[in-house]
Amino acid sequence: MAMTFYQQIAANRRNSFLLGFLVVAILAALGFAIGYAWTGRPAGAIGITAFAFVIGLLSALVSYYAGDQLILTVSSAREVDERSAPQLINVVRELVLAANLPMPRVYIIEDSAPNAFATGRDPQHASLAVTSGLLQKLDREELQGVVGHELSHVRNYDIRFSLLVGVLVGSVALLADFFLRATFWGGFGRRSSDEGRGGGGLQAIAFLIALVLAILAPIAARLVQLAVSRQREYLADASSVELTRNPHGLERALAVIASDREVLEVANRATQHLYFANPIKKWEARSSGLFATHPPIVDRVNRLRALAGEPPLSPAEARALSGLD
């Protein structure tokens, strides 16, 4: 049975929070194993986990308040107004009213590859950047779909949610790195054995579990983070349809952007998750299929077609879009 965009929004939001809780569970399991292996006591996990989380939180606060301007600077974005980009500003104002959002600062990136992203910590401190290629290659309905998608990221607080997940993933990586370095240099094993003489069976098991988790947990947490990113993309697509009442414009925009062969030079691994569509194509040397930040274009298009009550892409249409994103 086809899902309405309200049902898709609810399902994608629920999946995102479940994935966020999964990262918390990975952090808790790693912290408990390392803490028990280090001290021989379950309470030892609390201090180590809290320390890693505080360090990650301090780093996140810097990104929270200054990260958006850094991203815009790295992307060579220039701010525009109604005189320099009248159509873009008009479309943004139209959808801001529909979304009941404050007007964001609007930027253009001089690049022929069509794409866009939103950044900022909340709707009151949001920025929207689009490439010049997006304005040149999309019609108004397609542009509305992309802008609606990016404003939905702002309205849904995706950046704040992603930041929280990023803090947790960073804490997992910090704990794992601390444990592996201490184990490699021998200090961790000596301390564990000195403090756990006589009843070290459980501590030895905890040490082995912690060693396995320290290797696998950062990879698992990163994959969960990417799954969260993909769920938020589905959510923004559905929310864009809610704003524009036109899934076809967004569907066409996805096809145009996926089929475009231009390389977005300013994008990199650190910023690719921000964009409307993955700016690093699969055929590029810098691409990584395992750590994909966006859902496949075919899946996104088929979800939009389901909202319009239309059948999914035909096998030939799906093949034409497969492997381009």
Enzyme catalytic residues: 150
As given in the structure block, the two tokens for residue 43 are 């309470």
State the Cα–Cα distance between residues 111 and 68, nearest whole angstrom. Answer: 19
State the Cα–Cα distance between residues 298 and 304, nearest whole angstrom. Answer: 10
State the Cα–Cα distance between residues 158 and 221, nearest whole angstrom. Answer: 18
As given in the structure block, the two tokens for residue 25 are 């569970």
Whole-angstrom CA distances from 80 to 128, 141, 207 are 10, 21, 56
Task: State the pairing for strand pair 105-109/77-79.
Answer: antiparallel
State the Cα–Cα distance between residues 154 and 121, nearest whole angstrom. Answer: 8
- 45: Cα within 13 Å, side-chain hemisphere: 18
State the Cα–Cα distance between residues 42 and 156, nearest whole angstrom. Answer: 38
Task: Please report the DSSP string for 184-197 in residue order.
Answer: HHTHHHHHHHHHTT
Residues 6+ apart with CB under 8 A from 245: none
State the Cα–Cα distance between residues 109 and 131, nearest whole angstrom. Answer: 4
Residues 6+ apart with CB under 8 A from 62: none
Residue 185 CA to its chain's centroid (Å)? 35
Would you give the DSSP letter of residue 273?
G
Task: Please report the DSSP string for 28-42 in residue order.
Answer: HHHHHHHHHHHHSST
